[in-house]
Amino acid sequence: MVLPALSLSLQFARFAAAPEHRAVLARHRVARWIRHALSANAEITVRIVDEDEGRQLNRDYRQKDYATNVLTFDYAQEPLVLADLVLCAPVVAREALEQNKTLEEHYAHLLVHGALHAQGWDHETSAQDAAEMEAYETAILGELGFADPYA
């Protein structure tokens, strides 16, 4: 299987737990996870942030005053997918623990999820769209060797 090309910028904000997250998010892993979710070549920046930055971005761009796990800023879908994916490390770590997942499993899921959003997938438009997106995420993660994130 030939996967789309990906130009990836991987950034980490400065926060106390950054080394733990950096260890899980080796560049080659992040690129592999995202490439499996792409249907076209892409230029994507992934930024791992602390709770303050995650909350500020969610508040400024979505008018929601809390830090969320992943924010997708999609700029173009054709002919090249252009997007920024911002993941809030403390939220991701907390959710992984609550869901009894490894940090790696949860990051893989959220990066696939964000990459799909960058290509126009949306789970908030209808129950059918949500079911289709979840099924596709599950299939992609299965190809990558991960269990169903919704099980």
Q: In what order do the strands lie in the sheet with 42-49?
A: 6-12, 42-49, 81-88, 70-76
Q: Provide the β-strand partners of residue 6.
A: 42
Q: Is 21 annotated as a binding residue?
A: no
Cα pseudo-dihedral 50, 54, 60, 63, rounded to 10: -140
Cα–Cα distances (Å) from 33 to 15, 61, 104, 114, in that order, read 24, 26, 11, 11
109 labelled ligand-binding: no
* Residues in CB range of 123: below 8 A, 6 or more apart: 129, 130, 133, 134
Instruction: Report which of 77, 73, 1 is spatially closest to residue 40, judged by C-alpha positions.
Output: 77
How far apart are alpha carbons 64 and 61 in whole angstroms? Answer: 8
117 annotated binding-site participant? yes
Question: Per the annotation, where are the binding residues?
Answer: 113, 117, 123
Question: Per the annotation, where are the binding residues for Zn(2+)?
Answer: 113, 117, 123
